[in-house]
Chain A
Amino acid sequence: MLVEALSLHPQRWRHGYDLMKETGLLSGTLYPLLMRMTDQGLVEAEWREPAQPGRPARHAYRLTAAGLALARAAASDRGAVGLGASLA
């Protein structure tokens, strides 16, 4: 679900709270996932200046090339499973 959300716009940096709202994941699920995916090299993270001055910088995330390849492979697997189920 997280990989899918990040792969929709792979070049765009996304903030944690925005990802929470988009995916419906709670912070207790999202952040351990992001940590694990960053450790595995699937997600990259960086600090981004805030849109409004006077606010603190925010951490933003996007898929790496490896993460994007995994997302596309997972999407094609899902497509193949769906096709198989509809033919059965």
Chain B
Amino acid sequence: MTKAFARAVMRLAACSLGEHRREWALAMQSEFEAAAEDGKPLSFAIGCLAGAWRRLPADEPGRFLLANYVLVLGLILPAAAAMLSTIVTGFPSSHFGQFGAHGALPASSGHGPLLSDANLSAVPSLAVLVLLLAAAHLRIAWLLLERDWPRVADCGSQAAALTVTLAIFSGLVFVSDTGLVHAAVVAVELAAVLVLARWHARLRPGALPGAGIS
């Protein structure tokens, strides 16, 4: 069990070193077996992971990797989580008051001042749009970590289209600025993705096939 966990830590250390340090990742992994025979696989693996993370800011490919993870873990995933939470707990807008999945139920009394029976029935559609946008965020996060820029561009276009639809829908039906908030978040994310893609292209000329990001 300990050895299996230590192997997982070693794999994480190898991924953290990045492509430019692949030989060192293999070197650490080859010494892991010697450490395991000595009865110290976990301390060896944790040391390698700490060393790999310490090395990250030392050179540009490492800094790119860090920036990639910061964007995914610090912005894209929290945005997706916030969107998913609004579906359940209610959209954070004063016009809506407190409603969400439970607010759309007939027994709920969480209606805001601009809601009527007519536009309340549009809440499930709004929820579906937000759900699709959250799913697009999760897909962009995954593709970013794989540096699959053409697919990131495709998914980004879909997210932008969903955001525009959401902004128009919530603006017309609910007279709400919720869609604009989502639009601002998506705009910031896509701008950051573009910066990262260009940085990656500078690190690895030819990494961008050309059709995706310009």
Contacts and interface: CB of A to CB of B under 8 A. Distances in A.
Tell whether A and B belong to one assembly: yes
A17 B34 contact: yes
Contacts of A32: 51, 54-55
A26 B34 contact: no
Contacts of B52: 31
Chain A facing B: main interface SS = helix
A59 B27 contact: yes
Interface string B48-88: 11111011001000000000000000000000000000000
Interface in B1-40: 21, 23-24, 26-28, 30-31, 33-35, 38
Contact of B55 (A15, A16, A27, A35): A35
Contacts of B46: 28
Contact of B48 (A28, A45, A56, A59): A28
Contact of B31 (A26, A35, A58): A58
Interface string A49-88: 0000001111100000000000000000000000000000
B48 A31 contact: yes
A28 B50 CA distance: 5
B27 to A, nearest CB: 3
Given A56-B30, A58-B34, A35 B24 contact: yes
Given A32-B55, A59-B30, A17 B43 contact: no
Nearest to B24: A35
Interface of B: 21, 23-24, 26-28, 30-31, 33-35, 38, 43-52, 54-55, 58
